[in-house]
Amino acid sequence: MLSYSFYLYASCGGVPKPLCYTEPMNKYINAQIRSFLEEEDMIAALANISACINENYDRLNWAGFYLVKNGELVLGPFQGKTACSHIPFDKGVCGKCYRDKASQRIDDVEAFPGHIACDSASRSELCVPVIVNGECIAEIDLDSPFKNRFTEDEQKEMEEAAKDIADAFLHHGWTLQ
């Protein structure tokens, strides 16, 4: 298992203080994501989560969210290069994730039928649905310029994050409007 150095932030007297850890990533990234989900504003929470993922996973060129709105996937908070603003449910890796309500870990996006090249440098993708009351309401989407970039462990971490986001969605009464 790979180890990563990364920072968690603890608030001490209102001032964030970095705490450095060198541990297997899955021990801490989901705890950090859960702490961001204490935020009552959905956009603020998802923005910090996308930044957290981008800072803690190496070799990414995009980390963020697509939200289900008006019968399509609409760009949400993200870190990285310019992105597709709207994705139809019948297109690309994100569309398949939505239709199947299942994670898509694609080792080579150029071999994926119907792949949408929002960034022509992307070579692999991990897309995880956020399911609330049996419906996909959003997706975590990660892109990398390297083939075979995403591991099974990272998929499990993002699936855990998606469950936590779904719980926060219900807890805070978030809506997609």
Residue 5 has pLDDT above 70, yes or no: no
Amino acid at 105: R
Please name the residues in contact with 163: beta carbons below 8 A apart, sequence gap of 6 or more: none
Cα-to-chain-centroid distance, residue 15: 27
Amino acid at 130: V
Distance CA 72, CA 88 (A): 5
Supply the pLDDT for residue 6. Answer: 46
Amino acid at 71: G
CATH of domain 3-172: 3.30.450.40
54-58's contacts with Cβ under 8 Å and 24+ in sequence apart are 54/79, 54/80, 55/6, 55/7, 56/4, 56/6, 56/25, 56/29, 56/32, 57/25, 57/142, 57/154, 58/4
pLDDT in tens, 66-90: 999 999 999 999 999 999 999 999 9
Mean pLDDT over all residues of the chain?
88
Distance CA 43, CA 41 (A): 6
Distance CA 159, CA 126 (A): 10
Residue 134 has pLDDT above 90, yes or no: yes
Among candidates 138, 177, 144, 134, which has minimal Cα distance to 161? 138
SS3 101: coil
pLDDT in tens, 105-133: 999 999 998 888 887 889 999 999 999 99
Residue 161, token pair as written in the block: 């994050």
SS3 19: strand
Residue 93 has pLDDT above 70, yes or no: yes
pLDDT category at 104 given cuts 50, 70, 90 is very high
Distance CA 97, CA 42 (A): 21
Q: What are phi and psi of 172, to 5 degrees?
A: -90, -10
